[in-house]
């Protein structure tokens, strides 16, 4: 029988994987990989604000991530190229966050847990937040799936169909902010983007429809989370990096299999 903390860790990993994988498909399709990374980096500033104001880490991280998302959506393409804006905002937020943490006297903080995750320390209250966030993201994706997909594949067609591509992009980046906020406990700031991107990229060669890609990505993300947790527990390796390393191995394996199948054709 598994210990309670292992059951909580497994449920936390599944919750994050289920939310991140389908959202990661849109990140891959839209080539928004850097945005996921930038939002994750900004989360450290949210951690510092949470500790300074004695509020929950989830609240602080979600607030900063939402502000980052709104700033990118508002300023993107106006004065600077998107990658330039993301680079400035991401690294500035990370730097301010790390500096702010150093000024927090009398507060003990395990910075490595926020950078790389600490899934084994997940509490029941964390589980409630993770699954609530995952449910919200999944409902948003289910509700806006057709509109999001149309706006992603062909913005002009979306406009002609009465769909506002800017609105759909805002919904997407707000969903990303929620995923980052709930995933920080599981895989940490530095690995969140990997959990978003790798399952989706792994599923892509074997998918014939967008829906298939989303389903396969969820399965790969869930398998990576559970198997990575098992491997980390038995070999005493850091859990977050182990989960992402396993997902990376699946990606390389799928790439090799896809290449071999292409040669046979």
Domain ranges of the chain: 4-190
Residue in this structure with the two tokens 């500033």, named with its chain if needed:
45
pLDDT at residue 135, rounded to an integer: 92
As a whole-number percent, the residues of the chain with pLDDT over 90 amount to: 19
Q: Which two tokens stand for residue 222?
A: 């869930």
How many other CB atoms are found less than 10 A from the CB of residue 252? Answer: 10
Mean pLDDT across 168-182: 85
- CATH fold of the domain at 4-190: ABC transporter involved in vitamin B12 uptake, BtuC (1.10.3470)
Label residue 1 by pLDDT band (50, 70, 90).
very low
Give dist(CA 169, CA 210) in Å, integer: 17
pLDDT of 107 above 60: yes
Label residue 47 by pLDDT band (50, 70, 90).
confident
pLDDT at residue 51, rounded to an integer: 80
Which 3 state secondary structure label does DSSP give 78? coil
DSSP single-letter state for residue 191: G
Label residue 62 by pLDDT band (50, 70, 90).
confident
Label residue 61 by pLDDT band (50, 70, 90).
confident
pLDDT at residue 231, rounded to an integer: 93
Give dist(CA 185, CA 137) in Å, integer: 17
Give dist(CA 211, CA 194) in Å, integer: 21
Q: Which two tokens stand for residue 156?
A: 């002009």
């Amino acid at each position: 029988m598994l210990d309670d903390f292992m059951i909580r860790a497994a449920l936390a990993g599944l919750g994050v994987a289920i939310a991140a994988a389908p959202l990661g498909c849109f990140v891959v399709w839209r080539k928004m990989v850097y945005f996921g990374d930038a939002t994750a980096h900004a989360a450290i500033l949210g951690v510092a604000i949470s500790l300074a104001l004695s509020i929950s880490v989830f609240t602080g991280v979600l607030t900063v991530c939402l502000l980052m998302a709104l700033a990118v959506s508002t300023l993107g393409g106006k004065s600077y190229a998107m990658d330039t804006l993301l680079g400035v905002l991401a690294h500035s937020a990370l730097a301010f966050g790390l500096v702010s943490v150093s000024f927090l006297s009398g507060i003990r903080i395990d910075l490595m847990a926020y950078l790389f995750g600490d899934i084994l320390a997940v509490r029941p209250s964390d589980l409630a937040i993770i699954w609530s966030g995952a449910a919200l993201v999944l409902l948003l994706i289910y509700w806006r799936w057709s509109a999001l997909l149309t706006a992603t594949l062909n913005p002009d067609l979306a406009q002609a169909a009465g769909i506002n591509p800017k609105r759909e992009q805002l919904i997407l980046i707000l969903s990303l902010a929620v995923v980052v906020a709930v995933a920080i406990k599981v895989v940490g700031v530095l690995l969140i983007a990997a959990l978003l991107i790798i399952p989706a990229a792994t599923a892509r060669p074997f998918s014939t429809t967008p829906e298939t890609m989303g389903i396969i990505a969820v399965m790969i993300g869930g398998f990576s989370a559970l198997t990575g947790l098992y491997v980390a527990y038995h070999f005493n390796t850091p859990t977050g990096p182990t989960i992402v390393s396993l997902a990376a191995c699946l990606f390389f394996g799928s790439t090799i299999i896809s290449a071999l199948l292409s040669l046979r054709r």
